[in-house]
Amino acid sequence: MHDLPDGPVLLHLARALLLDDVLPQLPEERRYEARLIANAMAIAAREATAGDRDKEAFRQGLAALYDDVGPRPQGRPAAETLDEANERLSWRLAADLRGGQRDADPEVFAVLRRAAAARLAAVNPKALAQYEAEEADGDGDGQ
Amino acid sequence: MSDAAIAERRLAEARPALQAFLARAAGARGAALEEARPLSGGAIQENWLLTVAFDGGALPGRQALVLRSDASSGVAVSLSRAQEFAVLRAARAAGVTVPEPLWLCEDPAVLGRPFYVMRRLEGVAAGHRIVKDRTLSGDRDALAERLGRELARIHTIIPPRTDLAFLAPPGADPARTAVQRYRAYLDALRRPWPGLEWGLRWCELHAPPPGEVVLLHQDFRTGNYLLDEHGLTGILDWEFCGWGDPMSDIGWFCAHCWRFGQDELEAGGIAPRAPFYRGYEAESGRRVDARRVAYWEVMAHLRWAVIALQQGARTLDGGEASLELALTGRVYPPELELAVLAMTPPPAWVAR
């Protein structure tokens, strides 16, 4: 629990100040950098707002692929953080995919899609919306 | 001090040596550097716009030139400036529209690192501007057809070539070689990327059989050619050239990730595929193999994702504090991964 206004609110205010007031005063050749800075702030704010929600969803998806649930299954370290669990299970899935153990597996496909969409939502929500609109049109399957 | 400021100071210090080199190379009595301006946007090399006044020689009078040198942080997979100079000469000889390569300098005494000088071309390269600003280059179908012809001319260069002997020999199986290369790149990043592994496995299983091998540009896309109001003025950025399947350059050009938001214009965000393919087929006498192109489009997204991750890693592990590189590594991979997954859903896996 942070004092208010918290990190995301501060980042949004800072970003608005940068884009609305500072950027128009900048010479043309520095505006690109200002937009990079604004983008970094937007990503950091979205990440902070999302908290552990997406990581937790990814962990559950991965865990379901490997029946890796319960208190201490399959050599899982005692006090494993969410990031550590995701990294461990991601390594396992990556190796299985490379080794051909999960070819065309629809459950794996669903987990990977959800995870990529969540990561895209954090860095570029507009692109995700466009992507989902295309999927809905049924022309998302390029093959 | 910023990179740009360091580069600027180095060039100022090198001015007498550079002028002497330019005069000697042009066979001129003298060369006066009237203007030197850094061009932004080189993660891999440094580009300078030069205005040079030559006294006599091969190019008398005031000339607009570009100087291209290796940057401090080279990417291992890209060509050196000396190699790029050789490729540019080969491409020009093959009839490709490129900035004319003039002189190569490998003497470190001049600038501290190798560089070459070419004629400056006017025009706009920025992909976002090109797809939106239709006043550039006039008719877009004609532009796509012209680009198809240009690519076909690049592909007339075939191995073996003694002048391009520095290029890695063509592997027996370009598609599987690419899969192995990108897996090795991912391994070097030391983080798991199951979404990309999914795509690479699909590419391994669905690799087209080896066929023709030609010189590939390997970054032939909107953003890497120059346009003015009349049309194409030059094909740029030759540092990723190599031998391989000609259809892979077509897949790269048409890939979803290089359409700059103009998704329905599948040839680089500027036109439908038909005129691009028509130009390519007319000039090369080779059929565009749609299946192969579709395969290489999957690979294009994987390749760009791996490159973006490598650029991001330069700030994470390489100690290169760059917001631009950090954002590249963070912003692009998820969308590329989604595109790869969209092209390789379980029904698209054909049992072999």
Dump pLDDT digits (tens) for A90-124. Answer: 999 999 999 999 999 999 999 999 999 999 999 99
Query: What domain range includes position B103?
Result: 3-119
Q: Which of B257, B331, B344, B350 to mutate to test the interface with A (most CBs of A within 10 A)?
A: B331
Measured CA to CA, the distance from residue B260 to residue A74 in angstroms comes to: 46
Residue B56 belongs to a domain with what CATH number? Answer: 3.30.200.20
Percent of chain A whose pLDDT exceeds 90? 70
Question: CB-side exposure of B101: number of CA atoms within 13 Å?
Answer: 24
Q: Is residue B90 part of a domain?
A: yes
Dihedrals phi, psi of A119, to nearest 5 degrees: -70, -35
So what's the ipTM on this one?
0.89
Judged by a CB distance cut-off of 8 A, whether residue A135 touches chain B is: yes
Measured CA to CA, the distance from residue B145 to residue B156 in angstroms comes to: 17
Helix (H, G, I), strand (E, B) or coil at B270: coil
- The confidence score (pLDDT) of residue A28 equals 87
Q: Is residue B347 part of a domain?
A: no
- The confidence score (pLDDT) of residue A140 equals 43
Count of domains forming chain B: 1
pTM for this one? 0.90
Judged by a CB distance cut-off of 8 A, whether residue A119 touches chain B is: yes
Nearest to B198 among A112, A141, A142 (CB): A112
Beta strands B225-227 and B232-235: pairing type? antiparallel
Q: Is residue B189 part of a domain?
A: no
Contact A143 B346 (CB under 8 A): no
Contact B327 A40 (CB under 8 A): yes
Q: Is residue B111 part of a domain?
A: yes
Q: Which of B335, B343, B349, B352 to mutate to test the interface with A (most CBs of A within 10 A)?
A: B335
Q: Is residue B31 part of a domain?
A: yes
Distance, in angstroms, between A77 CA and closest chain B CA?
A: 19
Q: Which token pair is A111?
A: 């987990």
Q: Is residue B91 part of a domain?
A: yes
- The confidence score (pLDDT) of residue B29 equals 96
Contact A109 B201 (CB under 8 A): no
| pLDDT above 70 (res A1) | no
Contact B343 A40 (CB under 8 A): no
Q: Which of A58, A103, A114 to mutate to test the interface with B (most CBs of B within 10 A)?
A: A103
Measured CA to CA, the distance from residue A93 to residue A108 in angstroms comes to: 9
The b-or-e profile of B78-93 (16+ CB within 10 A means b, else e) is bbbbebbbbbbbbbee
Q: Is residue B112 part of a domain?
A: yes
Report CA Rg, chain A.
20
Measured CA to CA, the distance from residue B157 to residue B217 in angstroms comes to: 11
- The confidence score (pLDDT) of residue B322 equals 86
Nearest to B323 among A36, A112, A122 (CB): A36
Judged by a CB distance cut-off of 8 A, whether residue A133 touches chain B is: no
Burial label for A75, CB within 10 Å (0-12, 13-18, 19+), is: exposed
Dump pLDDT digits (tens) for B164-189. Answer: 999 998 889 999 999 999 999 999 99
Other Cβ atoms within 10 Å of A56 Cβ, number: 13
Nearest to A94 among B192, B256, B334 (CB): B192
| pLDDT above 60 (res A73) | no
Q: Is residue B8 part of a domain?
A: yes
Parts of chain B with a pLDDT under 70: 1-7, 40-45, 71-77, 318, 351-352
